[in-house]
Structure 1
Amino acid sequence: MAVQVYVALGANLAEPIQQLNVAVTALKALAVNDTFVVSAYYRSKPMGDVVQPDYVNAVAGFHTTLLPIELLDALQDIEQHQGRVRLKRWGPRTLDLDLLLYGNQHISKPRLCVPHYGMKQRSFVLVPLADIAPSLTLPCNTSLESLISVKMRDELQKLIDLS
């Protein structure tokens, strides 16, 4: 049985827009037919203290038949294929794919925490997610729209609208 999932995409190295375009193509291969949607691409400031270029971010949503760990493995394979090297927390990267939501499930395993632990505070996740699922209610019964402030919307610059 297919489940609705949402995946955050981010890149700030090696042609970030192209990195997201390639990742979108790879993610479509994980989706059940005709269920794939992707938000606009946004520019955002990096998190943390590491000096690095701005990020390009988006969120994709689709139905998949993959189990949560299988999906995580597939996302990490896509990252590695695109040259992802994990050197520094919140450091620059060619591609970052984070599983935000897997249906309404709460998953807490050593390799996977869903809903994604930081998604409620991150404008670069919430705003693109609202592009593709404006009426979404999170597994904690909080509406997505209630988490998004005007300030969050102002923090991001829309780069490419794919709708």
Structure 2
Amino acid sequence: MTTVPDNVWSKATLGLGGNIGDPKAAMAQALRLLDGRDDCRVLAVSRLYSTPPWGKTDQADFFNCCALIETTLAPEDLLATGLSIEKTMKRERLERWGPRTIDIDVLTYGDVEKDTQPLQLPHPRMTERAFVLMPLADIAADLMIKGKPVSSWLALADVGGISVADESRDWWR
């Protein structure tokens, strides 16, 4: 894995979700695995949300959260780390937007804008998804995405069906 030059710590935001098994426990484990690494530190975690499925709607509701982290990993390596954690936790990719035990998305990485495979920054559909914007607003309401703060994107989003499942910001510890 490559690191950012001189081990500079960069801030990134992650979106986590799942709807198979015990998603709350899976997301908590994923966050603890990230926080336990020498090259990642979890700075803040949103409340936990219960959200209706998006894209493929004939499945169970999801649990979602967002995390603000610091990392010395380059953006692509942060994505690879998330995918490795998903694999460790037995994530199977059977269908797009389908049921999953755990999903970890890199939403933003500092001010980096990039459109490559497999990584697009900021995440290309995050401003359309209330299940991302609502927890992201808990930890980074003023974060600028495509020229607007997260709070402004959230004001435009349909938040119907989304509810707080756990008020505590320490639910993952």
TM-score (normalised: structure 1): 0.91
Shift of residue 125, structure 1, vs aligned partner = 0.4
Task: Show structure 1 runs of 5+ residues with no match.
Answer: none
In structure 1, what is the equivalent of residue 48 of structure 2?
Answer: 41
Match of 2:151 among 145, 149, 155: 145
Q: 1:151 to 1:67 in 2, by over 3 A?
A: closer
| Residues 31 and 63 in structure 1, CA contact (< 8 A), matched pair in contact too | no
- State the 1:76 CA deviation: 0.2
Distance 1:33 1:90 in 2: 27
Spell out, residue by residue over 1:104-140, the C-alpha distance to the aligned partner (whole angstroms, 9 max, x if none). 11111111111001100100100100001122222x2
Q: Which runs of 5+ in 2 are unaligned?
A: 1-7
**Pairwise CA distance, 1:148:** 1.2
Match of 2:129 among 115, 122, 139: 122
* Aligned residue identity for 2:150: L
* 1:23 and 2:24 correspond: no
Cα distance in 2 for residues equivalent to 1:112 and 1:150: 25
Structure 2 residue 116 is matched with structure 1 residue 133? no
Matched, 1:92 2:90: no
Written as runs of structure 1 = structure 2, the 5 A alignment for 1:69-88 is 69-88=76-95
Query: Structure 1 CA distance, aligned partners of 2:78 and 2:50?
Result: 26
Alignment match of 1:104 (pick from 106, 111, 119): 111
1:148 is paired with a residue of what secondary structure? helix
Given the superposition, is the C-alpha separation of residues 132 and 32 from structure 1 closer, same or farther in structure 2, using an over 3 Å criterion? farther
Q: Describe the shift of the 1:141–1:91 C-alpha distance in structure 2 as closer, same or farther (beyond 3 A).
A: same
TM-score (norm 2): 0.86
Quote how far apart the aligned CAs of 1:161 are: 2.0
Equivalent position of 1:155 in the other structure: 161
